[in-house]
Amino acid sequence: MTGSLPPLTLVIGGARSGKSAFAEGLVTGSGRARRYIATANAWDDEMRARIAQHRRDRGEAWLTVEAPLDVPAALAVASPDEVVLVDCATLWLTNHLLAEHDLVAEGDALIKALGLSNAPVVIVSNEVGGGIVPENALARRFRDEQGRLNQRLAAKAALVVTVIAGLPLVLKGQLP
């Protein structure tokens, strides 16, 4: 995949669908400098190991910025010669939900920052609404808020790709 990316691309899919690898391929194929905005928190040894593996898989050519909460600030410093990968909106939303932040205000700030970014942005998000209705209120709230955020991101993005079993399906726009 080579070519010019639109200002915003959304790559969405289920857990272990291949969405992050696909998004990384889009960014690498752009030929630009690569900025990775990581939203994960390393809460335990298993998550620390996952984060370390992701870093090894990406290699040295990426500038990694840890931004579990303040993605807008991390986007604000991206330069026009870069392409930015935000991985992922789901963990970012989870961090704000657990911190009991105003999710509408945080979503507004993210959408605004994406529109103001000097660099094209590829943002990864999980599709979480395809399963059963969660049994507890926090999980139901998360599912609902993630669905709302994904809709907002998809509306703003010029390119939306879902990834299922490692296979991309374009929902909106055209691949470069």
CB 113 within 8 Å of CB 71? yes
What is the distance between the alpha carbons of residues 51 and 48, in angstroms, rounded to a whole number? 5
- Provide the β-strand partners of residue 64: 36
Q: What are phi and psi of 72, to 5 degrees?
A: -55, -40
Catalytic pick from 54, 148, 152, 172? Answer: 54
101 part of the active site: no
**Cβ neighbours, 10 Å, residue 32:** 18
If we measure between CA atoms, which residue out of 75, 59, 21, 66 comes closest to residue 41? 66
Q: Which residue has the tokens 């704000």?
A: 96
- Give the active site residues: 54
